[in-house]
């Protein structure tokens, strides 16, 4: 009963948190933009630090009594600078979205031009989409994926860059399972004299472990969330060279945010400290091995995988050629009933009216809970059976019970 205190304060909240705990233990949590933070990270987030209003940066706070919070933030920064070989890191963004906005505020003027991947193809909402303030403030043009291979269409990127002369090019994506040629994008940015932001929200853990090419030192700015492949709890960060440090820091505070969330910064510091260990490299290797094995096992069961496989933690089931009644939305619902939590995504050249033709699976959380390569056959079976039985509620209920039993024996949550 880890939530006793909460339940005695407010039954409804305490109970709901307890049920959420059970949900995460009894289902296959496969949302690729989530992960499970360690107990140490969760512990760091629930301390006296939440009492502080940390306005300003270490050694230049607006309030006295800040020596310990300064030390914590300075350590988070030092660990991050070492992990990603960055000259300067700001660990204060409350989220990856605000990290992106701070970069825009640091170097763009309203009306400036952004060139980013089309949200339909897996670009992030904060990359100049209509539904985000970046789309209101800046003039955005989109580049695309090659609809056949699923790879970034570097030619379409180059052609658009030459045509519109952008002020900022954004790389880094939410649903892209393949390697990214950062140098090639940087070369295009150089030709048109544009800044280059690499949004590594999904990739920062893979990069910290040395298992994915790093854009740090290539792109002008890198931004990331801190709770996806890097397991450091909710939040964001910005990485850049010394030359941009002051502009970035000022754009984040005081222009965009108020006081820093010290409890989350302590979580980041602990998560970054964990990422410096060999155990973290082993974890990331297992995440990628699990994704590859899962992808192959799904192909064996007759499913199509977008780009044919993966270099990351992401596996995309391609439903563009699936029957009517098996759109991304239909399949997402069926998987949820079966105890597999994964979200629908859009893919290039949509076929279904619901505009979602893909299911994005991520192996970060299930790997954090101890699943290994040998378990991926079972996971693939559960997924393939749920998709086969998309409208058969009793079959989905059976799978859900099997998954509860499976997690009871196979899950060994890391401390
Ligand atoms: C997850 C993500 C973000 C940040 O999301 P927040 O919820 O704001 O932390 C930013 N960019 C990309 C590409 C992402 O996938």
Q: SS3 for 114?
A: strand
pLDDT above 70 covers a percentage of the chain that reads 98
Cα 203 to middle of ligand 1, angstroms: 11
Candidate of 35, 126, 176 to mutate for ligand 1, largest count of ligand atoms within 8 Å of Cβ: 126
Binding residues for (6S)-5,6,7,8-tetrahydrofolate: 123-125
pLDDT confidence of residue 195: 98
302: exposed, middle or buried (Cβ count in 10 Å: 0-12, 13-18, 19+)? exposed
pLDDT single digits (tens) 117-171: 999 999 999 999 999 999 999 999 999 999 889 999 999 999 999 999 999 999 9
- Find the mean pLDDT for residues 241-251: 98
pLDDT, averaged across the chain: 96
Cα 378 to middle of ligand 1, angstroms: 30
H/E run at residue 188? helix 182-191
pLDDT confidence of residue 169: 98
pLDDT confidence of residue 3: 82
CATH 3.40.50.2020 fits 42-276, yes or no: no
Cα 97 to middle of ligand 1, angstroms: 6
User: 110-124, 321-335, 338-352, 396-410: which range is least confident on average?
Assistant: 338-352
- Cα–Cα distance for residue pair 259/255, rounded to 1 Å: 11
pLDDT confidence of residue 178: 98
- Find the mean pLDDT for residues 19-32: 97
DSSP output for 206-252: HHHTT-S---BTTBSEEEEESSSSS-S-S-EEEEE-HHHHHHHHHII
pLDDT confidence of residue 118: 94
pLDDT confidence of residue 147: 82
101 lines ligand 1 (CB under 6 A): no
Confidence of residue 353 (pLDDT cuts 50, 70, 90): low
173 lines ligand 1 (CB under 6 A): yes
204 lines ligand 1 (CB under 6 A): no
User: Closest by alpha carbon to 389, among 316, 339, 315?
Assistant: 339
Closest residue CA from atom 3 of ligand 1: 96
Q: SS3 for 374?
A: helix
Closest residue CA from atom 5 of ligand 1: 96
- What does the domain layout of the chain look like in residue ranges? 42-276, 279-410
Cα 127 to middle of ligand 1, angstroms: 10
- Whether 415 shows a pLDDT value over 70: the answer reads no
* Per-residue CA distances from 324 to 353, 390, 391 (Å): 10, 11, 12
H/E run at residue 185? helix 182-191
- Please give the structure tokens belonging to residue 47: 């301390």
Other Cβ atoms within 10 Å of 22 Cβ, number: 10
pLDDT confidence of residue 148: 84
Confidence of residue 184 (pLDDT cuts 50, 70, 90): very high
- Cα–Cα distance for residue pair 64/267, rounded to 1 Å: 23
CB-based contacts of 335, cutoff 8 Å, min separation 6: 341, 342, 359, 383, 386, 387
Q: What is the 3-state secondary structure (H, E, C) of 199-215?
A: ECCCCHHHHHCCCCCCC
pLDDT confidence of residue 8: 85
User: Closest by alpha carbon to 272, among 84, 413, 99?
Assistant: 84
Same fold, 42-276 and 279-410: no
pLDDT confidence of residue 350: 73
- Please name the residue that has the structure tokens 């629930």: 46
User: 253-262, 355-364, 372-381, 392-401: which range is least confident on average?
Assistant: 355-364
Confidence of residue 352 (pLDDT cuts 50, 70, 90): low
User: Closest by alpha carbon to 74, among 53, 60, 84, 94?
Assistant: 60
pLDDT confidence of residue 351: 66
205: exposed, middle or buried (Cβ count in 10 Å: 0-12, 13-18, 19+)? buried
pLDDT confidence of residue 1: 53
174 lines ligand 1 (CB under 6 A): yes
- Find the mean pLDDT for residues 201-220: 98
Would you identify the CATH topology of the domain 279-410? 3.90.1150
pLDDT single digits (tens) 81-124: 999 999 999 999 999 999 999 999 999 999 999 999 999 999 99
pLDDT single digits (tens) 32-62: 999 999 999 999 999 999 999 999 999 999 9
- Whether 312 shows a pLDDT value over 70: the answer reads yes
97 lines ligand 1 (CB under 6 A): yes
pLDDT confidence of residue 238: 99
Closest residue CA from atom 4 of ligand 1: 96
Closest residue CA from atom 15 of ligand 1: 174
- Find the mean pLDDT for residues 173-201: 97
């Amino acid at each position: 009963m880890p939530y006793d205190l909460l339940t005695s304060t407010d039954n409804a909240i305490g109970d709901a948190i307890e049920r959420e705990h059970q949900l995460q233990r009894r289902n296959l949590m496969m949302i690729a933009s989530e992960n499970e933070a360690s107990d140490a990270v969760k512990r760091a987030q629930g301390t006296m630090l939440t009492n502080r209003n940390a306005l300003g940066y270490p050694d230049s706070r607006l309030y006295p009594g800040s020596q310990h919070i300064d030390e914590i933030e300075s350590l988070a920064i030092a660990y991050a600078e070492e992990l990603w070989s960055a000259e300067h890191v700001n660990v204060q963004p409350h989220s990856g979205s605000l990290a992106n906005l701070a970069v825009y505020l640091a170097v763009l003027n309203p009306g400036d031009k952004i060139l980013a991947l089309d949200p339909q193809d897996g670009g992030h909402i904060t990359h100049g989409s209509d539904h985000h303030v970046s789309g209101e403030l800046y003039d955005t043009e989109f580049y695309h994926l090659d609809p056949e291979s699923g790879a970034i269409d570097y030619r379409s990127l180059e052609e658009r860059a030459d045509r519109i002369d952008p002020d900022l090019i954004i790389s880094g994506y939410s649903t892209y399972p393949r390697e990214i040629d950062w140098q090639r994008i940087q070369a295009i940015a150089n030709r048109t004299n544009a800044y280059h932001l690499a949004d590594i929200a999904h990739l920062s853990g893979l990069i910290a472990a040395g298992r994915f090419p790093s854009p740090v030192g290539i792109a002008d700015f890198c931004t990331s969330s801190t709770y996806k492949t890097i397991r450091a709890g909710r939040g964001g960060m910005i990485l850049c060279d010394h030359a941009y440090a002051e502009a970035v820091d000022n754009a984040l505070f005081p222009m965009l945010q108020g006081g820093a969330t010290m409890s989350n910064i302590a979580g980041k510091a602990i998560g970054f400290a964990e990422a410096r260990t060999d155990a973290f490299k082993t974890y990331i290797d297992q995440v990628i091995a699990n994704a590859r094995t899962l992808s192959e096992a799904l192909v064996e069961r007759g499913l199509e995988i977008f780009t044919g496989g993966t270099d990351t933690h992401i596996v995309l089931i391609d439903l563009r050629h699936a029957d009517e009644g098996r759109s991304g939305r239909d399949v997402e619902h069926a998987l949820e009933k079966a105890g597999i939590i994964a979200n629908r995504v859009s893919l290039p050249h949509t076929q279904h009216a619901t505009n979602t033709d893909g299911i994005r699976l991520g192996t970060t959380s299930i790997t954090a809970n101890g699943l290994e390569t040998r378990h991926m056959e079972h996971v693939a079976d559960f997924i393939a059976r749920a998709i086969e039985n998309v409208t058969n509620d009793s079959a989905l209920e059976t799978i859900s019970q099997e998954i509860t039993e499976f997690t009871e024996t196979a899950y060994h949550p890391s401390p």
